[in-house]
Structure 1
Amino acid sequence: MVNLTWKSAGVTDVGLKRKDNQDNFYISEDERCLVVCDGVGGETGGALASRLAVETVETLWLSEKPTLSDPEAVEAWMRRAVAEANTSVKQAADASDDKKTMGTTIVMAVFGEEGLLHIAHAGDSRTTLVRDGKADVLTIDHSVVMEMHLRGQLTLDQCAVNPYRNLITRCLGHEENVEVDYSTKQLQDKDWIILCTDGLSEVVKPDELGPTVANHTVPKEACDELLKMVLDRNAPDNVTIIAVEYKEVEAQVPTTADSK
């Protein structure tokens, strides 16, 4: 018999060029629900938008957690959570005189039963799987340059240096309804999951991220090293990272003596 376990940690930092941190993140107490948001639309507006989105998901998780053994129920819950977060941000924007353009990206991961990871996102915040030291980005950025790449107009290397690389095509708070991408991934022993804002992904590329994370066994230490890499490279943006180490552990079968 195998038990499934995971440990997580998160870190956020203003970086070295910004005045305020517009990122927010959430890790539920049971570490099954993880959220990262990157606010847009001005310093105070972006920070408010990301905070409202995170708080909305947290409130729904605490009040109406989905049946984790039912993948369809988890998907429905995640879509609802993103929709409610979108409404929260848009209502606040509409009611404000100086934050009309505020919005936020969102990437959310939920650990279901039997090692099934559920992912939902809108914007360019990412979920990345690190397996055997190799990083595989599980989300597709909703950005102008990624759309150009998917049409065959830009290579990924060209996307990385394109002046329009920070223009996103989806976020919460700008429309009544937001389209959300949903997917699942079956996890294996010793997998790592990294959720992050573009403050990390713009600076530390997948071919560096994979080996760096794989060198660790403690999520907080993995977060700290990734953050240090960003800061050492002048940290042009806010950066937020959640790292999760996933393990399969053999359950101990009680002996006759133990059961007495």
Structure 2
Amino acid sequence: MLTVNRSDIGRIRLANEDRSWAGVTSGGLTLAIVADGMGGHQAGDVASQLAVDAFREAMEPMQAGVSAEEAQQYLRAAIRRANEVVYDMASRNEQYHNMGTTVVAALFIEESLLLIGHIGDSRAYRISAGAISLLSEDHTLVNELVRSGQISFEEAAHHPRRNVLTRALGTDEEVELDLQVLDWNSGDMLLLCSDGLSGMVSDEEMLEVARSQASLEEKADRLISMALAAGGDDNITVVLLQSGAGTDGEE
């Protein structure tokens, strides 16, 4: 599995509160995670870094060949552990009070099976057969309004409270994870991103980049550039994964 991991501070923020990782665990499994921290000065980047580190550490013992059921248990346990670590740090340190982070994680347990877990509004997309589909559902106030029919999808894109989360990792002692087990085709591409990309670049624009003849690295760089050109209002993180002859994992 080929993996590419890119992040940019954007044009407005004073610090990059996004953290991400993509690569192969010691157990031989392809794993990726994007976390978008929140909580004010320094707290957001602390939350996202703690979450990524705790998640990776908890996933390391997992070995290739596990069943889908075992993989789901590992993923849930790793997210619970990340939540504990962030919540404990926030509880014990006044400067980190109420910090938290979004999380979207992907685990390939075999060539044809993918697990996606997420909390918050960082997203997972599948690009397949010339189409792009959103695999995750935003845990935001605005998305709740859309689901209840109070506002339209078009209105949601420009709503003044569109970034208000209804669920985040580390803000409460317990957290609910949305987890999916999906079939995976060898020609598919997976995109994980923070809302610094999805809030600035349309699905159609993402698809156009994904379908281009550029390398995976060039596609990730192009997506970052497009978000910056659209205003770069937030930190921007892009992780791309695609089946290939080798694996290029980056911190």
State TM-score, norm by structure 2.
0.92
Paired amino acid for 2:123: R
**Residues 156 and 66 of structure 1: CA distance in aligned 2, closer, same or farther (over 3 Å):** farther
Question: Where in structure 2 are the equivalents of 1:41-52 lying within 5 Å?
Answer: 41-52=39-50
* Worse overlay, 36-45 or 207-216: 207-216
- Which secondary structure state, in structure 1, belongs to the residue aligned with residue 116 of structure 2? strand
Partner of 2:204: 207
Contact residue 68 and residue 74 of structure 1 kept, 8 A: no
Return closer, same or farther for 1:16/1:68 CA change in 2, 3 Å cut-off.
farther
Question: Where in structure 1 are there 5+ consecutive unaligned residues?
Answer: 1-5, 249-260
SS of the residue corresponding to residue 101 of structure 1 reads coil
Per-residue CA deviation, residues 58-77 of structure 1 (Å, 9 max, x unaligned), is 11122x21554400011111
Counterpart-to-counterpart distance in 1, 2:213 and 2:55: 29
Q: Which residue of 2 aligns with 1:54?
A: 52
Once the two structures are superposed, what CA deviation does each residue of 1:21-58 show, in whole Å capped at 9, x if it has no partner? 00000113356110000001113000000000000011
Asked if 1:118 corresponds to 2:115, the answer is yes
| Aligned mates of 1:190, 1:69 — CA distance in 2 | 23
Q: Partner of 2:146 in structure 1?
A: 149
Do residues 24 (structure 1) and 22 (structure 2) align? no
| Match in the other structure for 1:34 | 32
Q: What RMSD, in angstroms, separates the aligned Cα atoms of the two structures?
A: 1.6
Give, in angstroms, the shift of residue 155 of structure 1: 1.9
Q: Secondary structure at the match of 1:74?
A: helix
Which consecutive residues of structure 2, in runs of 5 or more, have no partner in the other structure? 246-251
Give 2:5's aligned residue.
10
Alignment pair present for 1:137 and 2:134: yes
| Per-residue Cα deviation, 1:198-257 (whole angstroms, up to 9, x for no partner) | 000001111221121111452211110000101111200001110112359xxxxxxxxx
| Matches of 1:120 and 1:14, distance apart in 2 | 25
Any idea what the Cα deviations from partners look like across 1:173-198, whole Å, max 9, x if unmatched?
11110000000221113211000000
Show the 5 A alignment for 1:64-103.
Answer: 64-66=61-63, 68-103=65-100
- Equivalents in 1 of 2:55, 2:2: separation in Å? 20
Alpha-carbon contact 1:28-1:58 (below 8 Å) kept: no
The range that moved more, 222-231 or 210-219, is 210-219
TM-superposed deviation, 1:112: 1.3
Helix, strand or coil at the partner of 1:98: helix
> Do 2:200 and 2:231's aligned partners in 1 also have CA atoms closer than 8 Å?
no
Matched AA of 1:7: L
Other-structure match for 1:105 = 102
1:43 partner SS: coil
Letter in 2 for 1:156: F
Larger Rg: 1
Q: Tell me the TM-score normalised to structure 1 length.
A: 0.89
**What is the aligned residue count?**
243
Query: How many Å separate the matches in 2 of 1:41 and 1:186?
Result: 36
> Matched residues in 2 for 1:68 and 1:17: separation?
44
Question: Higher mean Cα deviation, 183-192 or 14-23?
Answer: 183-192
